[in-house]
Structure 1
Amino acid sequence: MDLRLPLASLGLCLAVLSSSGCSPSEEKKEANLKDEAAQLEKSLAAIQDPKLKDAFADLGGSLLLLERAQLKLANKPIETEYADDALALLKHYPSPQALVDTYVNGLFVLRKQSNSDYLTDLQPVFPFSFNIPGQFPFPHDLQWQSVTLSNKKVVTFQPEWSETDSGIQLSPSSANMTNPDDLTVAYPFVEGLEIDNKSQPQPVSLQGKLEVIAPGRVLNLELTKADVGKPRKDGNITLTLLALEKNVAEIVVDNSTALPEELSDASATPLLAQARDSTGQVLSRSGSINEDAEQIAFYRQQLAEMQQQKAWSDAFEKQLEDEQQAFDRKHTRHYAKVYFNGLVDKLEVAVLDFAQAQVTRKDLDLPVHRFESNTTDKLIQPLPMPVVVYDDQAASYLKGAQLDEESLKKSVSISQSVEDASAARIEFNHPRTFNDELLGSQFNTGDTPLTFFTQNDKGERGEPIELPDEAIEIDAMRGVITYDLNLFPETPAYAVGSVPLFLASIEKKSIGAEQLPKGLELKGNALIVDQKLFPSDAWRFYAKDASGQYLKEILAVSHSAPNAGPALYDVHYFYGQPSQLETYNRSDLNTVEYGFEVKLDKVESGPPAP
């Protein structure tokens, strides 16, 4: 997880890491950090002026956090962990501006179902995910302004809902804090008065302003250890790989052309880097440091200047700003030291050249669409989409269709909990794959044998323990064993038995759009699936366009018979025109017995006497 520190000019990028053992040299560095923190606290206590105190605390605290992050990242154990391709998005479009156009033109608004007659939720749907690593890579700003209702009334956006406003309000949704772009239309509440939501004026369109800055070009490079110290120059861009160690890369990028004025206040990141190991898979990042020694020295100098002041003043604030601007003009290079979870074999870098940036500004007036995930409406709504977006995770996810018994067993992890002696637990988990999605609902768990054992004098498995039935509860479907230590005549040390795992046999087929069988139909970008012939319990469909790449699904709607009858057909909408379908059908469901012997964790106080 990246942490953006409060000082805007510093902008540190850190990772939250678990603590680990320290070598003598690390212990010395830890001690030095404690000394620095103590000195900072002492200096802070001597400052009386509140504004000066806050500025000193922000900058000094940021520098301390940076040092701690450097120490933690440098000494984090190397544990391999994979991630999705963060650079794939840039490769799908012929130019950065084409990517921007896709983002701008692929945005639409959904009306979400609400349980309240006084609230209507609106969800802007973006063509690209905003979760790392698929985050939209260019500087962008989206500001919602108003909503137009069915009675032609325009309600202005306000940053938060007000109790004192008696009218209809448009504000950020409190129901979904993870997506700041979700909005709520709140109708006035009248105590004792029943109001049907359908009688309220309904949201028809949402207005806003969007600005996106696209780089003039993207320079893609592949680097190995042989490239260390060898500058790569392309026009105004020079990239140098300073170091490439086991799990860390140090890179610097120079752009000899001054950036346009539009980027003076924008957080334009000119460097995107990811690593692959010897298997060719992308390694996840454990964190990064984006401040080089020269920048850190500058901030330390500013900290020292603050310490010399008696009080904050406009003149001193201007001095700091002038110094910052002068430093930024001189220090134009971008530095990054990136740490990865695994051993780096090859580094992939995308340099965004903002010297010839193109700014796109658009006034948005987006119609509000209503698509319920389940509906009894027979009418299939069209959802035409003028853009193409690919699903870069599909190929990796669909490998789960070929999951075999041995791989499934190897993926199982076992965890324990003995905090509650009356409900101690053993849990068997495995990473969710595409195979799990097609398991269906008809399971046969079979027998789940389980025996608890004591520990003998040699520390090995001893005698079996006879237990009443109520001492153990086995949830075979969830892979959870719960046992009550209060009912054990002896302290258990081992649990031996087996739990069922489930493995679908999946048949894959590819079908051209012009050769679809009965029960499958394409209407534009919508795939209609007859649930009698292709029930969703056993079938999945993925679409590709003429390029052979998987299209991203926008949403799906299940149409049922009136009065909550069975599903009649499902409709899947895609970003783009499908020209080929891949079908995945569960032909069989197999039960895999997972045998185990678990050495049990001990309860600190020991089990109570029976």
Structure 2
Amino acid sequence: MDLRLPLTTVGLCLAVLISGCSPSDEKRPQSLEEKTAQFEKSLDAIQDPKLKDAVANLGGSLLLLERAQQKLAIKPITTEYGEDAMALLKHYPTPQALVDTYINGLFVLRKDSSSDYLTDLQPVFPFNFNMPSEFPFPHGLEWQSVTLSNKKVIPFQPEWSETDPGIQLSPSSSSLTNPDDLTVAYPFVEGEEVDNKNQPQPATLKGKVEVIAPRKVFTFDLTHKDVGQTRTDDNISVTLRALEKNYAEVEVNNSTALAPDVSDTPLNPLIVQAKDTTGQFLSRSGSINEDAAHIALYQKQLAEMQKQTAWSDAFEKQLDDEQQAFEHKQTHHYTKVYFNGPIDSLEVNVLDFSAVTVTRKELELAVRRFDRNTTDKTIQSLNLPVVVYDDQAAAWLKGSTLDEEQLKKNIHVNQSVEDASAARIEFDHPKSFNDELLGTSFSPGDTPVTFFTQDDKGKRGEPIELPPEAFEIDPLHATITYDLTLFPETPAYAVGSMPLFLANIAKSSLDTQKLPKGLELKGNALVVDQKVFPAQDWRFFAKDASGNYLKEILAVSHDASAEGPAMVEVHYFYGQPTSLETYQRTNLNTVEYGFEVKLDKAENPNPVE
């Protein structure tokens, strides 16, 4: 919920909507529902379609802004931790080094498709841009063409054409999570079978990339003592307007004008993070990025709009000129950020775009093939000229020390009674590294459960005698499914014991210069003999000389034939490993989780009479 009203939008401001009320109404603040109803009524009176659309656009945005403010203000303060949004930048000495890593770490994988007429291409980026602020630098990537194995060049087109009879390169329609994925589509001929292997295959993908790096990133550490104070470093000044229990208001001023290369580029130069007393980063619940000056501009433009009877090009230019003049006068950036938990300290990061480095590069990337499972005996090289660290590894590996009490404490009981014939009780817990090493050799043992009625005092009543088919227990998924239509009485409680599973995990460290038999390092690739280190029992994490975990690029399992060598798994890393951490499951324990669950009521259980 990060809300910013675009200054290019024109429309109706909430404050002016209120100004049309009668004197008696002014004494009582309007509710959001009343404002919405009045706003919709005012829209009906506008005859000109363009003017009406403009009013609806900004008016709706302002209503959404107020609704978000109210929702964030009353949201219960529940502690929830997140990741360090600046971890990526902290690994590189300069912003430009991060840009170079982003560009030089990019490669293209060929992926199998479900159709012989399609071949999918997946650009693989060294970074996942999922931090709260997204990738902080302005960047653009444009694909141009693919060159096939027969030297034919297929230009990129923004969408697949049903009428184009040739080979096409267009965005993939099957990948919603990876918007940069592409598909090479071969022509379909009715009645003719096509073997994809005989088609010319994609060999290289061409494109161009542009990234703008700021001059510098400034970091300010603030606490409650800094409220109302301004801290300055070089040309950057930060003012902490407010720091309440779960939100902060911050204003940043840059005394130097923006570089010409980004003067018209939307920027997010301000990244605010918070920590609680444990020193952990709190996750964000939302932010508001409009201050009083912006709202005042919208109020002024509304007054001008209300004098109009129709939209015109001259009026539109007038509004645009006002907005541009306002922007040029603004030297500050404002944000009000809400966090999930009580704030102890703030980390305010400011990207200085008063000077920038623009990197433009023509890309010609070989299309590589690394199937997750292959019978190929040759171990391919995938040594990229970049180093990328895995900042989530340390937190993930804390699951290796999970104990019985921690596991029980994290159990969440969820119920579903929408389908009376398949009501469910689920014993869920946050997935951890321990779950990854549970293996498949489960022995749950007995899983007793008894259903009870409710007595006159609302407490647990008598047990209910049930036929075996009335309920089913799935201990491997920690789920109980029961059929209310087979219950002679309405159940109110379920009491029993659900088995949970906990791995004993042994950790050790290895120098890559002294690896035991079954482990071999070939450049940046760790080759693991599955006969010595079976995958269901072992995990490997690599570090370089900095002591940071290296991010794994991908893994390939080489499944050998009967007369071939032992099956091996190859793990490729962004960087050169100098040490390994090994994690071995030494035992699997069953933990009995005793429960008494107050059952949710189904609307129409239809019990047996």
TM bin, normalised by shorter chain, reads: over 0.9
Contact persistence 1:558–1:567 (CA under 8 A)? no
Name 1:541's counterpart in structure 2: 540
Please name the residue that 1:385 is paired with: 384
Matched, 1:82 2:85: no
Greater Cα offset, 465-474 or 429-438: 465-474
1:452-482 C-alpha deviation (Å, 9 max, x unpaired)? 1111222211111111111110011001101
Equivalent residues of 1:96, 1:217 under 8 A apart: yes
Contact 2:157–2:170 (8 Å) recurs in 1: yes
**Aligned residue in 1 for 2:602:** 603
1:129/1:135 contact within 8 Å kept: no
Q: Equivalent residue for 1:15?
A: none
Q: Deviations over 1:314-359 (max 9, x none)?
A: 2112111110111001122100000001111111111100101111
> Within 5 Å, which residues of 2 pair with 1:460-479?
460-479=459-478
CA apart distance, 1:6: 7.1
CA 1:601–1:567: 2 relative to 1, 3 Å? farther
Contact preservation (8 Å) 1:43, 1:307? no
Matching residue of 2:590: 591
Please state if 1:493 is matched with 2:492: yes
Whether 2:239 is the aligned partner of 1:219: answer no
The separation in 2 between residues aligned to 1:54 and 1:254, in whole angstroms, is 35
- SS of alignment partner, residue 405 of structure 2: helix
Moved more, 286-295 or 420-429: 420-429
CA distance, structure 2, for counterparts of residue 251 and residue 601 of structure 1 = 45
Please name the residue that 1:452 is paired with. 451
Cα 1:502/1:353, change in 2 over 3 Å? same
Is the contact made by 1:250 and 1:338 (CA closer than 8 Å) also made in structure 2?
A: yes
Deviation of the 1:9 alpha carbon: 6.3
Structure 2-normalised TM-score?
0.94
Aligned residues of 1:7 and 1:59 also touching (Cα < 8 A)? no
1:147 is matched with which residue?
Answer: 146
Whole-angstrom distance in 1 between the partners of 2:221 and 2:125: 30
Decide which moves more: 129-138 or 143-152. 129-138
Relative distance call for 1:339 and 1:437 in structure 2 (3 A) is same
Alignment of 1:46-445 (within 5 A): 46-133=45-132, 135-445=134-444
Map of 1:575 onto structure 2: 574
Q: By how many angstroms is 1:29 displaced?
A: 9.4
CA separation of 1:559 and 1:609: change in aligned 2, threshold 3 A: same
Q: 1-side partners of 2:314 and 2:324: how far apart?
A: 15
Residues of 2 paired with 1:7 and 1:47: CA distance? 22
Deviations, residues 117-156 of structure 1 (Å, cap 9, x unaligned): 1001000101100223483221111111111111111111
Q: In 1, distance between residues paired with 2:415 and 2:232?
A: 55
- Paired position in structure 1 for 2:24: none
- For 2:551, the aligned partner's letter is K
CA distance in 2, matches of 1:106, 1:9: 38
Paired residues of 1:6 and 1:58 also in contact (CA < 8 A): no
CA shift, 1:178, in A, is 2.2
Shift of 1:497: 0.4
Cα distance in 1 for partners of 2:481, 2:432 equals 26
Per-residue CA distance 1:568-599 (angstroms, 9 max, x = gap): 00000000000000000000000000000011
Identity %: 72
Alignment partners' CA distance in 1, 2:485 and 2:455:
21
Deviations 1:31-79 (A, max 9, x none): 4322322332233222222222222211111111111111111111111
1:278 Cα deviation from its structure 2 partner: 1.1
Paired letter, 2:432:
T
Query: CA–CA distance in 1 between the matches of 2:564 and 2:2?
Result: 48
Moved more, 274-283 or 474-483: 274-283
Cα offsets for 1:192-245 (capped at 9, x unmatched): 101111111111111111111111001112111111111111111100111111
Q: Matched residues in 1 for 2:304 and 2:440: separation?
A: 68
- 1:221 and 1:298 mapped to 2: Cα distance? 30
Letter in 2 for 1:353: D
Post-superposition shift, 1:524? Answer: 0.8
Structure 1 residues 567 and 42: CA distance shift in structure 2, 3 A: farther
**1:559 aligned partner:** 558
Q: What is the match of residue 21 of structure 1?
A: none
Alignment of 1:19-58 (within 5 A): 31-58=30-57
8 Å CA contact 2:520–2:527 kept in 1: the answer is yes
Q: Distance in 2 between matches of 1:457 and 1:292?
A: 57
Q: Is the 8 A contact 1:525 1:577 kept in 2?
A: yes
Structure 1 stretch displaced more, 329-338 or 34-43: 34-43
> Take 2:42 and 2:372, find their aligned partners in 1: how far apart are those partners?
59
Distance 1:456 1:43, change over 3 A: closer
Provide the rounded CA distance (Å) in 2 between the counterparts of 1:142 and 1:47. Answer: 42
Partner of 1:22: none
Residues of 2 paired with 1:104 and 1:494: CA distance?
A: 58
Q: Cα 1:77–1:441, aligned 2, differ >3 Å: closer, same or farther?
A: same
Between 1:502-511 and 1:266-275, the stretch displaced more is 266-275
In structure 2, distance between residues paired with 1:566 and 1:80? 52
SS at match of 1:573: strand
Q: What do residues 262-314 of structure 1 show as CA deviations (whole Å, max 9, x unaligned)?
A: 21332221111111111111111000000101101101222332232222222
Distance in 2 (CA, whole Å) between partners of 1:175 and 1:32 is 44
Q: What SS class does the counterpart of residue 215 from structure 1 fall into? A: strand
Alpha-carbon distance, 1:416 to partner:
1.0
Q: Which residue of 2 aligns with 1:18?
A: none
Q: Is the 8 A contact 1:271 1:350 kept in 2?
A: yes
Provide the residue aligned with 2:549 in structure 1: 550
Q: Is the 8 A contact 2:83 2:131 kept in 1?
A: no
In the alignment, the residues of structure 2 paired with residue 552 and residue 142 of structure 1 have an alpha-carbon distance, to the nearest angstrom, of 23
* 2-structure distance, mates of 1:2, 1:116: 40
Q: Which amino acid aligns with 1:229?
A: G
TM-score normalized by the length of structure 1: 0.94
Task: Tell me, yes or no, if the aligned pair for 2:5 and 2:290 is still in contact at 8 Å.
Answer: no
Secondary structure of 1:356 counterpart: strand
Change (3 A) 1:547 1:280: same
Q: 1:213 to 1:467 in 2, by over 3 A?
A: same
Contact kept, 8 Å, 2:420 with 2:604, in 1: the verdict is: no
Q: Which amino acid aligns with 2:119?
A: T
Take 2:166 and 2:406, find their aligned partners in 1: how far apart are those partners?
59
What letter matches 1:531 in structure 2? Q
**1:494 partner amino acid:** Y
Which one-letter code corresponds to 2:592 in the other structure? E
Q: Tell me, what secondary structure is at the counterpart of 2:267?
A: coil
- CA-atom RMSD in angstroms: 1.8
Counterpart-to-counterpart distance in 1, 2:68 and 2:211 = 32
Instruction: Name the SS of the counterpart of 2:135 in structure 1.
Output: coil
Q: Aligned pair in 2 of structure 1 residues 298, 510: CA closer, same or farther (>3 Å)?
A: same
Query: Deviation at 1:92?
Result: 0.5
Q: Quick one: distance in 1 between partners of 2:189 and 2:401?
A: 58
User: 2:348 is aligned with what amino acid?
Assistant: V
Q: Structure 2, unaligned stretches of length 5 or more? A: 11-26
Work out the CA distance in 1 between the residues paired with 2:148 and 2:405. Answer: 58
Structure 1, gaps ≥5 residues long: 11-27
Matched with 2:520 is 521
Give deviations 1:343-387, integer Å, cap 9, x for gaps. Answer: 111111111001011111111111111100000000000001101
CA distance in 1, matches of 2:152, 2:318: 49
Letter in 1 for 2:330: H
**What letter matches 2:242 in structure 1?**
A
Preserved CA contact (<8 Å) 2:542 2:578: yes
How far apart are 1:566 and its partner, in Å?
A: 10
Q: Partners in 2 of 1:145 and 1:526 — Cα distance?
A: 32
Indicate conservation of the 8 Å contact 2:101/2:126, yes or no.
yes
